[in-house]
Amino acid sequence: MTTAIYTFPSYRQQGEQLAKTLNLPCAQVKVHHFPDKESLVTLPVEKYDHIIFCLSLDYPNNKLIELLFAATSVRTQGVKRLSLVAPYLCYMRQDKSFHSNEAISQKIIGQWLSDLFDDLITVDPHLHRVTSLDDVIPGTNNSVLSATALLGEFLKNLKQDVFLIGPDEESLQWVKQVAIICDANYAVANKIRHSDTHVSIQLPDNNFTNKHVVLVDDVISTGNTVSQTATSLYQAGAKQVDVLVTHALFSKDAINILNKANIKNIYSSDSIPHKTNCIFLTNLLARQIKTLL
């Protein structure tokens, strides 16, 4: 069986690095956007039995249609096995109708990915009320990896005396794992979301006076969750607040919002390419891809 990694433009560097680490051929899927924003997808000329698509699904709407074009085309060309490595998996947060008549995006996207791919590898998907990715993407060989060990090792190597805070109940699963690795104390805050950009945070009942706090979360999008938490922590006497995040979605204004909240250091994994990336997932992903070969 011949195998190759196919990279997409938004994840080219990481895809090439993965192919190099695995000693696999690497080819590029080309994407052109027409003036009306339709997408033209061009596949590599070489043919392989097993193709592994690599791209993170941040800012997903274009990427999903491009993935559909590419997957359907290689299926038509007779590929025997099609895998997707998507370190960031989109649409996982809408796992129920929060208001009447809302589409449950997680379920719909999950079924759609299941129809396209034999295997899927992802990192810390935002699963809250659904505990297994197999319930979201049924019938696909799903691998859920976690970056928390790498996040924990990164913090441990900084050799700082830190207190970890998860900004909401959902972050407990990540902050706890990070805390175990770097041997730090941790707690989670309580978050009430009022809108996309407005949250209120109630800190846990700890003494933060003179503490160096690191906020740990799976996703930063607008930045309001961590900024609001940082503001409350400074009001409670913290001396420094940093942020450690797996998926650096960072919408347009997020960095400014974090700077305004006096967040000193922002550390992120490269599940989504961003200038704050300092924790690299190549080896974690490569180890899992090897199990598919």
| Binding-site ranges for ligand R5P (CB under 6 A) | 167-168, 170-171, 199, 217-225
Return the number of the residue (37 or 129) whose C-beta is nearest ligand R5P.
129
C-beta of 89: minimal distance to ligand R5P in Å? Answer: 13
Return the number of the residue (67 or 90) whose C-beta is nearest ligand R5P.
90
Distances in Å between the Cα of 148 and the Cα atoms of 1, 30, 179, 217 are: 34, 32, 9, 10
C-beta of 217: minimal distance to ligand R5P in Å? Answer: 5
Return the number of the residue (148 or 171) whose C-beta is nearest ligand R5P.
171
Exposure string of 91-115, with b = 16+ CB inside 10 Å and e = fewer, is bbbbbeeeeeeeeeebbebbeebbe
C-beta of 277: minimal distance to ligand R5P in Å? Answer: 17
The DSSP code sequence of the chain is --EEEEE-GGGHHHHHHHHHHHT--EEE-EEEE-TTS-EEEE--SS--SEEEEE---SSHHHHHHHHHHHHHHHHHTT-SEEEEE-SS-TT-S--S-SSTT---HHHHHHHHHHHH-SEEEEES---SS---HHHHSTTSEEEEE-SHHHHHHHHHHHT---EEEESSGGGHHHHHHHHHHHT-EEEE-EEEE-SSS-EEEE--S---TT-EEEEEEEEESSSHHHHHHHHHHHHTT-SEEEEEEEEE---TTHHHHHHHTT---EEEETTS--TTEEE--HHHHHHHHHTT-
Residue 104 CB contacts under 8 Å (≥ 6 apart), including other chains: 94, 95, 96, 97
C-beta of 163: minimal distance to ligand R5P in Å? Answer: 19
Return the number of the residue (22 or 230) whose C-beta is nearest ligand R5P.
230
Q: Which amino acid is present at 281?
A: L
Return the number of the residue (94 or 221) whose C-beta is nearest ligand R5P.
221
Return the number of the residue (119 or 218) whose C-beta is nearest ligand R5P.
218
Return the number of the residue (70 or 226) whose C-beta is nearest ligand R5P.
226
Return the number of the residue (24 or 189) whose C-beta is nearest ligand R5P.
189
C-beta of 25: minimal distance to ligand R5P in Å? Answer: 36
Residue 122 near residue 90, CB atoms below 8 Å: no
